[in-house]
């Protein structure tokens, strides 16, 4: 399975749209690009493999594997009032500005529904991040 994250970069953060077979699954928000600096930056563009990971007893996330110079990068839902954190790509259902979104839990559930069949059958799920072309 192949997913694509098409990004736009802003000083205050990074906005994206996550696609599966050219259909939007959700939007994403991340920290701004700061040369892949840990705790400050979104991750570099490239192709990564995703694995399911239990973030809490009842909440699943997706682990983005083999990110250069970084560890434990997750795609994970946040509460609407939580701040972006290091190593987190936040799925959201609705954008409220350039890098602010809401309904993260619903977006995460939708994303998991898209990838669950492949992951349950031990099929790889790849995730390619690239810049939106003008």
Residue-range domain boundaries for the chain: 2-131
Longest Cα separation, the chain: 42
- Report the pLDDT value the prediction gives residue 57, as an integer from 0 to 100: 58
Q: Enter the pTM of the model.
A: 0.92
- Report the pLDDT value the prediction gives residue 39, as an integer from 0 to 100: 84
What Cα–Cα distance (Å) separates residue 106 from each residue in 36, 78, 98, 101?
Answer: 28, 10, 20, 12
- Report the pLDDT value the prediction gives residue 87, as an integer from 0 to 100: 74
Per-residue pLDDT of 6-20, as tens digits, reads: 999 999 999 999 999
- Report the pLDDT value the prediction gives residue 81, as an integer from 0 to 100: 61
Average pLDDT over every residue of 26-46: 94
Average pLDDT over every residue of 22-44: 94
């Amino acid at each position: 399975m192949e997913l694509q994250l098409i990004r736009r970069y802003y000083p205050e953060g990074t906005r994206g749209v996550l696609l599966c077979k050219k259909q939007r699954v959700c939007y994403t928000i991340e920290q701004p690009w700061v040369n892949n600096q840990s705790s400050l930056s979104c991750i570099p563009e490239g192709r990564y493999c995703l694995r399911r990971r239990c973030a809490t007893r009842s909440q699943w996330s997706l682990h983005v594997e083999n990110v250069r110079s970084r560890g434990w990068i997750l795609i994970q839902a946040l509460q609407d009032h939580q701040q972006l954190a290091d190593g987190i790509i936040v799925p959201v259902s609705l954008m409220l500005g350039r890098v602010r979104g809401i309904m993260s839990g619903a977006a995460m559930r939708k994303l998991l529904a898209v990838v669950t069949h492949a992951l349950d059958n031990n099929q790889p799920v790849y995730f390619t991040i690239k810049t939106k072309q003008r």
